[in-house]
Structure 1
Amino acid sequence: MKQEMIHPVDEKPSLVKMLIYGFQHVLAMYAGAVAVPLVLASAIHLDKEQLIYLINADLFTCGIATLIQTLGLGPKIGSKLPIVQGCTFGAVTTMIMIGGAHGLRGIYGSAMVAGLVTFVISTYFSKMLRFFPPVVTGSVITIMGISLLPVAVMWAGGGNPAAPEYCNPSLIFLAAIVLAIVLFFYRCFTGFWSNIAVLLGLISGTFIAIPLGVTDFSSVGQSAFFGVTTPFAFGWPIFDPASIFAMTIVMLVTMAETTGDVMAVGEIVDKPINEKLLAKALRADGFSTILGGIFNAFPYTAFAQNIGLISLTGVRSRFVVAMAGCLLMILGLFPKMAAVVASIPNSVLGGAGIAMFGMVAASGIKTLSKVDFDDSYNMMVVAISIGVALIPVAMPTFYNKFPEWSQLILNSGITVGSVMAVVLNAILNGAEKNTTEIAQKEYL
């Protein structure tokens, strides 16, 4: 009897390989995950003890959200794709506004309701999938990669533009060395060693950084050994109608970004994405955001930077990403372990980030190679959507004189570019052509 082939997404590597590959995912998203509580705490003037608690709560809930997305929770929640869940940076501005008026309890109350709304409307939102043919998907993936590259560049310069040593040649040189190490292992080795090229680059770069004086392990000694996140640690949530409305708008934008992320992962791992699967992924976002409000964390979405890691390593197993979720939960329980990861210099992360985020853009270009550009409409869809998406990337202050509520959307190149690609394709190519093209594509 012929044995049924297992899709790479459902393969289970050995425990050792899952631990190592999973740790790569943790390193790839850690800086982005802790950035939200760091920025929020500074803006609403939380003390250091509260900040540490927020970071631990965020990591712990990131882990739970990732397990829900990769392994599923019942038959209708979770895409069972290799997607790492993290708190969305797009909600920071809104959370600062809500936190200034109602504190953390206002943030958590609005997040819980917005998460519930996301969960309920996921089935209807997923029907937008027919508006994502290859010309749209390829544009969105390319935009994602290009939009993330400035983050890697900022890391390479030291991470903090206000610091006097920012973009010091020694920091940039360190990032270049890490990038060279990643390329060396990726090119000169095969199989397992090639797959962990990013991890080897990060570890090597951290050791190289020690004599340069840019690695600080002091936070490890100062951190507590064990800490448990408890529900509603800051008090019962406040359900303010205006705050709920603002957070719901954020989640609608996040759903559009998640749609692009899921399409990108589906393309990279060669897994068919249909309305039902997309709805499961969006429900996981909503459910995890509700959990975020309960466990003192934030709204959750798919982390784009880990998509680049999947593309770079070729490791497509969702169980590897599930292992990353377990490791995130452990980091959330043991502050000292989280402090060790936090000690990796930004310049080291930047060197690896250039490779990872560049691979996201390259994946988008690969998808666009399937598009028929003899049709001038497709050319215009790609040109305008990428051009508009790069406005806030090229000039971050471009929309500063617009109303604050609109800046939340306009300053996200990924969101604006995605919407532009969908709208232009619908106008120029038409919904009927979209449906036909999608039916012809094997990965849909």
Structure 2
Amino acid sequence: MFGIKRSTHPVDQLLPAGQMGALGLQHVLAMYAGAVAVPLIVGSALGMSKADIGYLINADLLISGVSTLIQCLGFWRFGVRLPLMQGCTFAAVTPMVFIGTSDGITAIYGAVIVSGLLMILLSPLWGKLLRFFPPLVTGTVITVIGLALIPVAVNWAAGGVGSPSFGAPGNLALALGVLLLVLVVQRFAPPALSRISVLVGIVLGTLVAIPFGFTDFSGVSDAPIFGISIPFHFGLPTFNIAAIVAMIVVMLVTMTETTGDILAVGEMAGRPVDGRRLADGLRADGLSTVLGGVFNTFPYTAFGQNAGLVGLTKVYSRFVVAVGGGILVILGLFPILGEIVARIPAPVLGGAGIVMFGTVAAIGIKMLAKVAFDNNGNLMVVAVSLGVGLVPTAVPNIYEHFPNWFRTIMESGISAGALSAVVLNLLFNHIKGRRQKETTA
């Protein structure tokens, strides 16, 4: 058992081993569906076999775990050393599918490696731009992240997009039951149990779902017990200029998203992030992205749902999330374990996801409470950025006739909202207009 020293900052606390394991597993279950979604979508779009898609998923879980360990534990100037769970970014899905169908999967990996290296090089410069990310911007971005993720949870609650039983009353009832169970445990259970309320909801919800036919574990034994991702399994990377440019755009979007998550987690954990530590976190993302290109997976970023889980549980230990990273590594090395986790019904994840994603939005609102809204400019920054960020969430196909580079940025409500918040903050709070000059004269 590890003891907790009162003098130790919450971020650096070591909890008892049992709590560390349960809380780490809770983080894994919270992000698992999102973690495997990117390789599943890309592999399916490229017409890959089930075996190759399974290989992509295992590689993704392995590097997600390694990426999380780098971010939480850190070494030298890599890793922000905060409780941040890492996974493949959804911002890369559309351009990767386009690149893969045009030039093959090796062109995806070439572009991923180059963009990761460029992220490492740009991280120190990005860290110096921290003054352009005040609570006005970060609070807006985190609120957009939470609101943009809510539809994901609702789709899970309905049974998952494409499910034959999508929207069935049974799916929604199961999701509601999990949601209520999480709330009851959070409100009435002892502190040690309330911290893992999401885990309790997911486990008990899955157990209840089995006899009602929501899931089936019978095929788990067919999965291979052990497997490891070999570098360049699908061939040596190729380097296409257009593909690299598209992935660099994704990298800039990812850096903006990660910046919001890092600043939010640092704020809620009581360890505000300065420019140097922000650069360390982004540098870790760059290294993880390079590893993704080498080990047959994709670009990496911090996951917003896990930031919400940190806020919900109020457990800020980076070692807890590092344990989650270790579990991901094990899942990546032992596909049979991943098969077990993959059989958690979508409605169960949906019920828990509504709580977690709503918590992300609430954290953003809490950050915005520090903003002085007597300044009408600040009000406009938040109002317009929320509107722009929720456009692709409300109307997913609105940008389908626009160029791919534009869609890469704007079809992600998170990146669209973040870009809007940064630009409008510059306009209203950093660029002196004619009226301001006259007032100060």
SS of the residue corresponding to residue 374 of structure 2 reads coil
Q: CA deviation at 1:163?
A: 2.9
In structure 1, what is the equivalent of residue 360 of structure 2?
360
In structure 2, what is the equivalent of residue 442 of structure 1?
none
Contact 1:131-1:431 within 8 A present in 2 as well: no
In structure 2, what is the equivalent of residue 196 of structure 1?
196
Letter in 2 for 1:33: A
In structure 2, what is the equivalent of residue 39 of structure 1?
41
Letter in 1 for 2:34: G
In structure 2, what is the equivalent of residue 272 of structure 1?
272
Deviation digits for residues 221-260 of structure 1 (CA, Å, limit 9, x no counterpart): 2211111111111121112222112111111111111111
SS of the residue corresponding to residue 221 of structure 1 reads helix
> Distance in 2 between the 1:85 and 1:284 partners?
10
SS of the residue corresponding to residue 370 of structure 1 reads coil
Counterparts of 1:333-412 in structure 2, within 5 Å, are 333-412=333-412
In structure 1, what is the equivalent of residue 254 of structure 2?
254
Q: CA deviation at 1:396?
A: 0.9
Q: CA deviation at 1:4?
A: 8.2
Deviation digits for residues 280-327 of structure 1 (CA, Å, limit 9, x no counterpart): 010001000010111111111111110111011111100001001100
In structure 2, what is the equivalent of residue 132 of structure 1?
133
Deviation digits for residues 1-48 of structure 1 (CA, Å, limit 9, x no counterpart): xx9821100101112111110000100110001001111111111001
Counterparts of 1:163-242 in structure 2, within 5 Å, are 163-242=163-242
In structure 1, what is the equivalent of residue 438 of structure 2?
none
In structure 2, what is the equivalent of residue 144 of structure 1?
145
Q: CA deviation at 1:431?
A: 6.4
**Root-mean-square deviation (Å):** 1.3
Q: Does 1:111 align with 2:112?
A: yes
Q: TM-score with structure 1 length normalisation?
A: 0.94
Deviation digits for residues 132-160 of structure 1 (CA, Å, limit 9, x no counterpart): 11111211111111011000000000012
Q: CA deviation at 1:421?
A: 1.1
SS of the residue corresponding to residue 212 of structure 1 reads coil
The structure 1 segments of at least 4 consecutive aligned residues displaced by more than 4 Å after TM superposition are: none
> Distance in 2 between the 1:159 and 1:56 partners?
21
> Distance in 1 between the 2:388 and 2:411 partners?
11
Letter in 1 for 2:353: G
In structure 2, what is the equivalent of residue 306 of structure 1?
306
Moved more, 342-351 or 292-301: 292-301
1:431/1:267 CA distance change after superposition, 3 Å: farther
Contact 2:78-2:281 within 8 A present in 1 as well: yes
The partner residue of 2:59 within 54, 57, 66 is 57
1:90/1:219 CA distance change after superposition, 3 Å: farther
> Distance in 1 between the 2:119 and 2:130 partners?
16
SS of the residue corresponding to residue 211 of structure 2 reads helix
Moved more, 394-403 or 142-151: 394-403
> Distance in 1 between the 2:81 and 2:178 partners?
32
Contact 1:258-1:282 within 8 A present in 2 as well: yes
Q: CA deviation at 1:91?
A: 0.5
Counterparts of 1:292-303 in structure 2, within 5 Å, are 292-303=292-303
In structure 2, what is the equivalent of residue 282 of structure 1?
282
Letter in 1 for 2:113: M
- In the alignment, structure 2 segments of 5+ residues that lack a partner are 433-441
In structure 2, what is the equivalent of residue 48 of structure 1?
50
Moved more, 306-315 or 237-246: 237-246
SS of the residue corresponding to residue 86 of structure 1 reads strand
> Distance in 2 between the 1:249 and 1:360 partners?
25
> Distance in 1 between the 2:296 and 2:429 partners?
45
> Distance in 2 between the 1:319 and 1:29 partners?
17
Q: Does 1:428 align with 2:428?
A: yes
SS of the residue corresponding to residue 215 of structure 2 reads coil
In structure 1, what is the equivalent of residue 102 of structure 2?
101
Contact 2:95-2:404 within 8 A present in 1 as well: no
Moved more, 238-247 or 23-32: 238-247
Deviation digits for residues 108-167 of structure 1 (CA, Å, limit 9, x no counterpart): 11111110001001111122210111111211111111011000000000012x333101
Q: CA deviation at 1:405?
A: 2.1
> Distance in 2 between the 1:286 and 1:93 partners?
20
In structure 2, what is the equivalent of residue 26 of structure 1?
28
Letter in 1 for 2:27: H
Q: CA deviation at 1:357?
A: 0.4
In structure 1, what is the equivalent of residue 437 of structure 2?
none
Contact 1:109-1:237 within 8 A present in 2 as well: yes
